Copies of this chain bind each other. A is one copy, B any other.
Amino acid sequence: MTDQPQKRERRLIPLSHPSPEPHVCTPDVRLEMLGRAPLFADLTQDELAEVDRRCHVHGFVAGEAVYHSGTTASRVYVVASGAVKTVRLASDGRETLLDLCGPGEPLGAVPALGEEFHADSAWTLTPTCLLGLNSNEYAQIMEEFPAVAMATLKGVSRRLSESRQAVHLLAGAPLAQRLAAMLLLLAEKVGRPWEGGVLIDVPLSRDDLAAMAGAATESVSRVLSIWKRAGTIDSGRRWIAITDSDALRALRDG
């Protein structure tokens, strides 16, 4: 028992994005990111450049609103860097975190996708750079490049099946199971290898996790405390890492 200080050593906040300035990509990074996005993965360099020409760049600091619910949906974004959460608000103030978009992922909505108004609000979690295409530009691109339309379809379908799994979990699975499923999904989405485990490389508070799992902050905190003591996860303020994926998977699968 010689080691009580070892704990201190690694408690520097492990997340990326330490700089608080709004981030705006350079033109080359921009093109690079567009190519990486599943939406445009099938395009040639020339086609990409054509899409890039129609993009508008938007820089955000952390905690800024990208759009608010109720406003008219007029733009589709691709996250170039950073992370964005989308949140739906109930009349009684209850908030639900519905989606989290990292680099390469699409965000926003457009009448072409069947939504006239935003049903939820989007907030940046970190300094973020978004590439935006407005409604008619996007519709035109889909028409011009059917591969983009197909990729869009695939993306929306994947999100639908994720959402349905969430419905299934929320419809009766106990909190621990829901939380475990959520953390594993997050790890796939925005995980980064870290000290032999997976760090969820986005600043999420207990409140955020609770809003995602459909639970009270305190309940989430209780469950995570237990898991931390058991060595299944590690966590600090606004960060969390999975240290024993197998144990979590077992919890998720009942």
- A166 neighbours in B (Cβ, 8 Å): 167
Bound-state CA distance A124–B188 (Å) is 35
Instruction: Give me the interface of A with B, judged by CB distance under 8 Å.
Output: 88, 90-92, 94, 96, 98-99, 109, 112-115, 119-120, 142-143, 146, 149-150, 152-161, 163-168, 170-173, 211, 213-215, 253-254
Looking across the interface, which residue of chain B has its beta carbon closest to that of A149? B149
A-B contact pairs, 22 of them (CB 8 A): A88-B168, A90-B254, A96-B167, A96-B172, A109-B157, A112-B154, A113-B157, A114-B153, A114-B161, A142-B150, A146-B146, A146-B149, A149-B150, A149-B153, A156-B157, A156-B160, A160-B160, A163-B163, A163-B164, A166-B167, A167-B214, A171-B213
Residues of B within 8 A of A156 (CB): 153, 156-157, 160
- How many copies of this kind of chain does the complex include? 2
A61 to B62, CA, bound (A): 56
Option from B96, B153, B168, B214 in Cβ contact (under 8 Å) with A98: B168
4 additional A-B residue pairs with CB within 8 Å, beyond A96-B168, A114-B155: A114-B153, A159-B160, A171-B211, A171-B213
Q: Least Cβ distance of A135 to chain B in Å?
A: 14
When distances are taken between beta carbons in the complex, the residues of chain B under 8 Å from A213 are 171
B254 and A92 contact, CB distance less than 8 A:
yes
Contact between A88 and B153 (Cβ–Cβ < 8 Å)? Answer: no
B88 touches A157 (CB 8 A): no
B-side contacts of A168, CB under 8 Å: 88, 90, 96, 98
Q: Do the beta carbons of A170 and B173 come within 8 Å of each other? A: no
Flag if A98 contacts B149 (CB, 8 Å): no
